[in-house]
Amino acid sequence: MAFTTTVVGSFPRPRELIEATKKHGKGELSDGEYDELLDKATRSIVAGEEQAGIDVITDGEQRRSSFVSFVGDKIPGFEVMHITQLNPDAMEILKRNKVQLTYMRAVVTEELGDAVIARDEFDAAKKHSKKPFKVTLPAPYLVMWESWHKELSKGAYPRAEDFAYAYARLLRAEVQRLKDAGVSFIQIDEPMLGDLTEAGEKPDRYRKVFNELYGQEYRGFKEELKLAVDLLNEVTKGVGGVRVGVHMDRWPNKDSPYFDLGYERFLPELLETKTKQFVLEYTSPGTGDPAKLVKEFPDGMEIGLGVVSVQDYEVESPETIVSRAKRVIGSIDPDRIWLNPDCGFAPGMFRAFPVDVAFAKLKSMSKAAEMLRKEFA
């Protein structure tokens, strides 16, 4: 179908659930009571997506503490700790570099053990809808930068790359589980690769921060890009029969020499990724021209085009969204264009987003898809 609509993953968790999570962690709320609240929140998000007319939905990541560090709650080998345990000066490092990170970090301290990461979340959510589901998973390149510490991790994995490939193999097993369960779309979240658009000879600001916090060294632009692509292909090796996409966000920095250049900086290496779709951010100034990228796509490759901002609360009109989608029409077939927000509506602890505004934006996006189908499909 042309102009299929979907979301990137996360939605804000209700205050009731946030408080219940704290109580459950302290043993003040039973597993049964907590699960009821998780199910209630999931049911509400799924219903909201359906009412907004979204074609491929998610559970809103309601069962996750964060979009990355939740793996520490699932996979043996991680230890969840406060960011100041990585570096006593962590808060000052974040402030100095104008970077925001969640304070609780999942750090690898032992060899990883296989475990279900998201199959249980899908099983809990699918009973609430008959629509196709997307399930999101943190990418190995992202988790490598976020979770490997030079001192705390070296006993289990002497090199960050050793850990990354071990995690990628676990992720491949989870992709297979999700495929077998009937998931329609598996999205690998790779914001650290997206942030690489700001790097060159020197690292971008996020890698500068992770170097100070974790002791991991920047390898150089081309080396980082090759490693990220190789790790993604390790995840998808031998997996077929299910749509796999990669989400890369983009936080343009006006001080960067690469402002107004987009993901085309990753060509041609990016096209070596064995995935069906790239889910990309394109509503913010400085993100570049999506037509420059998609015109290089091989036959069959899709774009999940960011047409709705998650940076502000203004609900875009369907006409505005149509104009954003038209940027790639003529460079790629309509049935290879998916529409989605730039990113999740709740990617971290610092970005609360009114859920009613999120659903209003999605309704507008669904209307835009209808208009585009009438004109181009």
**303 CB-side CA count, 13 A:** 27
Per-residue pLDDT of 83-132, as tens digits, reads 999 999 999 999 998 888 888 899 999 999 999 999 999 999 999 999 99
| Amino acid identity, position 308 | V
Q: What's the gap between Cα 345 and its chain centre?
A: 11
What sections of 102-159 are H helices per DSSP? Answer: 119-125, 140-147
Query: Phi then psi for 81, rounded to 5 degrees?
Result: -145, 160
Q: Is 310 in contact with 348 (CB distance < 8 Å)?
A: no
| Amino acid identity, position 359 | F
Q: How far is residue 172 from each of residues 138, 235, 343, measured CA to CA in Å?
A: 12, 5, 23
Q: Is 371 in contact with 36 (CB distance < 8 Å)?
A: no
pLDDT for 351 equals 60
Q: For the chain, which residues score pLDDT lower than 50?
A: 349
β-pairing, 104-108 vs 78-82, is antiparallel
pTM, two decimal places: 0.95
* Domains of the chain, CATH where assigned: 4-63+112-376 (3.20.20.210)
Query: Phi then psi for 328, rounded to 5 degrees?
Result: -110, -10
